[in-house]
A = this chain, B = another copy of it.
């Protein structure tokens, strides 16, 4: 995987894709699937909603770090399955034949099969609203994985895959774009 400039990393989350959040806690890797994320800043900073109903919650609280991995649509079935079972019961990497890769700054593993991975430090926890604030500190893109069509959860068990690109509006947006994208 090739390192990605931090200035571009928010563009992985801005479109609202289904993501995999990996953690490493008490020597054990785990993955959860979520859609409840948003960009909070270009630095990049992200918010994520989850709570103690989720097995990964303790790992997030205790380790204060994670990786966000972006799967393409070929991983949609695995992502749905990962989101429908608990790391308390199974080793999700082994069970779903995903390959953990060593990250540079966090113990949480990257996921080789995902086209992009973001190493994150958890910098705040707004307990009242179950919101975690994450700072992306390093990110990786798999240049060989050309299928970067991510997918989005509707919330009713169906998903929608990225379709047609609109590229001719960039000139309208240019004054609002951060530097480096």
Contact = CB atoms under 8 A, between A and B. Distances in A.
A62 interface: no
Would you call the interface of chain A mostly helix, strand, loop, or mixed?
Answer: mixed
A165 B159 contact: yes
Given A47-B47, A83-B173, A163-B164, A17 B16 contact: yes
Interface in A124-181: 124, 126, 128-131, 133, 149, 151-167, 169-177, 181
B176 A169 contact: no
Contacts of A77: 169, 172
A160 B155 contact: no
Interface size class of A (residues with CB under 8 A): 35 or more
A170 B81 CA distance: 10
Interface stretch (A20-28, A35-43, A108-116): A35-43
A36 B1 CA distance: 27
A128 B80 CA distance: 34
Nearest to A10: B155
Nearest to A154: B11
Contact of A129 (B15, B126, B128, B161): B126
27 contacts: A11-B154, A11-B155, A14-B35, A14-B36, A14-B155, A35-B38, A40-B131, A41-B49, A47-B49, A47-B129, A76-B166, A76-B169, A77-B172, A124-B128, A126-B126, A129-B133, A149-B163, A151-B166, A155-B177, A156-B170, A156-B177, A157-B170, A157-B177, A158-B165, A158-B169, A159-B169, A160-B165
Interface of A: 8, 10-11, 14-17, 35-41, 47-49, 73, 76-77, 80-81, 83-84, 124, 126, 128-131, 133, 149, 151-167, 169-177, 181
